[in-house]
């Protein structure tokens, strides 16, 4: 009798030849051996498919799907449909994981009975990784409301907002039809995580950094150019608000959600690079506040961090000469 597959690792791949061998090696060397690796080559034009097939010849746990480019959500959903493991996890092809990650997350789920477990990640940059210090490594359960409050207020969604660095019970995903929205090409992880934590009402938290997130790769499936970023944010906010209201948690996380919208506004503003930058920024602020009037009622969480983010954008000249105008408008509307 073949050993039961405990974890299915779903690995979407798009033009990741530079990092793919390191990623695959980190998965193949996991201390939890009863795993399968479902690699989906998402229309890569480099040597990614060749690397995948080479590893598959050497490790029978690897299955390779070669599909036309359809985006990370479609690739992940394909992986979920073909997963045979009790649990599934997602790894991006330009990232890598600690050799104990799957075992530690699996044990956390088994010991606590949680359908979802998460660890922390290293924010891997050219200057090195940010090391976190933990007072305890004891597992704890984080409620859905606390998860969402952290998701909406952490800068850059560095932990709760990613589908990766987490383990999900496969039957739980199937029971609630939890899949990635294939119509989205922006922040699809956030919508997926929001749906998942609301359905589960909690996450088991493993206080260790076990996932290495590679910030430096600009060809990643999770990054890229967004032509109409405001439109994408509008779609994101609408979908999230629907999920929060259906899950009866909107009131409890409303202020955090408004903080999330505020951060989105800053991102939108820093992308404005026109000859009429002052006027265009003023128009965008007015338009944004008109569509999201509750933003005027926001109570900023980590106010100093938010202001630091704003002035960092100014320092980097992302807001050009319009920084004074933006500050006056936001200050007038009591947003900062």
pLDDT at 243 over 70: yes
Q: What is the pLDDT of residues 194-216, one digit of tens each?
A: 999 999 999 999 999 999 998 76
Q: How many CB atoms lie within 10 A of CB 164?
A: 18
270: pLDDT confidence band, cut at 50, 70 and 90? confident
Q: Measured between alpha carbons, how far is residue 10 from residues 52, 57, 188 in Å?
A: 13, 18, 16
| H or E segment to which residue 36 belongs | strand 35-42
pLDDT at 229 over 50: yes
Backbone angles phi, psi at 283, to 5 degrees: -65, -40
Q: Quick one: pLDDT at residue 315? A: 46
Q: Quick one: pLDDT at residue 157? A: 53
Return the top range by mean pLDDT from 83-87, 137-141, 276-280. Answer: 83-87
222: pLDDT confidence band, cut at 50, 70 and 90? very low
Q: Between residues 304 and 30, which one has the greater pLDDT? A: 30
Rounded to the nearest integer, the mean pLDDT of the chain is 85
First-last CA distance in the chain: 63
The pLDDT of 268-294, averaged and rounded, is 81
Q: Quick one: pLDDT at residue 276? A: 73
The DSSP string of 125-159 is BTTB------S----EEEEHHHHHHHHHHSGGG-S
Q: Which of 52, 45, 153, 60 is nearest to 93 (CA)?
A: 52
The pLDDT of 158-163, averaged and rounded, is 78
* Cα 330 to chain centroid, rounded: 28
Q: How many CB atoms lie within 10 A of CB 120?
A: 18
Domains (range + CATH), the chain: 7-214 (3.90.550.10), 229-332 (no CATH)
Q: Quick one: pLDDT at residue 303? A: 58
Q: How many CB atoms lie within 10 A of CB 220?
A: 20
Confirm if 37 and 28 have CB atoms less than 8 A apart. yes
The pLDDT of 83-105, averaged and rounded, is 97
Q: Quick one: pLDDT at residue 226? A: 42
The pLDDT of 278-290, averaged and rounded, is 83
The pLDDT of 238-245, averaged and rounded, is 97
Q: Quick one: pLDDT at residue 304? A: 55
Tell me whether strands 166-169 and 62-67 are parallel, antiparallel or unpaired: unpaired
Confirm if 72 and 12 have CB atoms less than 8 A apart. yes
Mean pLDDT check: name the lowest of 1-5, 9-13, 101-105. 1-5
Q: Quick one: pLDDT at residue 167? A: 98
Separation CA 104–CA 123 (nearest Å): 20
Separation CA 272–CA 323 (nearest Å): 12
The DSSP string of 169-218 is EHHHHHHTT----TT--SSHHHHHHHHHHHHHSEEEEEEEEEEEEETT-T
Q: Which of 215, 224, 317, 334 is nearest to 269 (CA)?
A: 317
pLDDT at 281 over 60: yes
Angle between helices 229-246 and 188-200 (to 10 degrees): 10
Q: Which of 229, 239, 299, 241 is nearest to 266 (CA)?
A: 229
The pLDDT of 323-336, averaged and rounded, is 53
Q: Quick one: pLDDT at residue 318? A: 44
**pTM score of the predicted model:** 0.86
């Amino acid at each position: 009798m073949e050993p039961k597959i405990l974890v299915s690792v779903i690995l979407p791949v798009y033009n990741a030849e530079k990092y793919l061998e390191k990623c695959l090696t980190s998965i193949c060397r996991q201390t939890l051996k009863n795993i399968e690796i479902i690699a989906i080559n998402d229309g890569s034009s480099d040597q990614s498919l060749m690397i995948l097939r080479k590893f598959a010849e050497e490790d029978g746990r690897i299955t390779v799907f070669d599909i036309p480019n359809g985006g990370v959500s479609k690739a992940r959903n394909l992986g979920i449909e073909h997963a045979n493991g009790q649990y599934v996890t997602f790894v991006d092809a330009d990232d890598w994981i600690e050799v104990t990650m799957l075992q530690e997350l699996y044990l956390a789920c088994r010991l606590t009975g949680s359908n979802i477990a998460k660890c922390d990640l290293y924010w891997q940059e050219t200057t090195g990784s940010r090391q976190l210090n933990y007072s305890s490594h004891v597992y704890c359960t984080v409620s859905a409301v606390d998860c969402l409050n952290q998701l909406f207020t952490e800068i850059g969604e560095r932990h709760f907002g990613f589908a990766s660095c987490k383990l999900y019970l496969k039957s739980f995903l199937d029971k609630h039809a939890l899949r990635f929205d294939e119509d989205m090409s922006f922040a699809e992880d956030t919508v997926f995580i929001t749906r998942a934590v609301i359905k589960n009402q909690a996450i088991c938290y493993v206080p260790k950094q076990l996932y290495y997130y590679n910030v430096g790769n600009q060809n990643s499936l999770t990054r890229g150019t967004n032509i109409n970023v405001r439109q994408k944010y509008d779609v994101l906010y609408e979908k999230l608000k629907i999920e929060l209201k259906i899950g009866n948690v909107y009131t409890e996380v409303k202020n955090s959600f408004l903080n999330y919208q505020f951060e989105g506004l800053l991102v939108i503003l820093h992308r404005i690079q026109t000859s009429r930058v002052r006027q265009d920024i003023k128009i965008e602020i007015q338009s944004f506040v008109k569509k999201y009037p509750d933003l005027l009622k926001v109570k900023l969480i980590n106010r100093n961090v938010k202001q630091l983010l704003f002035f960092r954008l100014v320092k980097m000249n992302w807001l050009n000469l319009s920084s004074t105008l933006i500050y006056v408008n936001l200050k007038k509307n009591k947003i900062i």
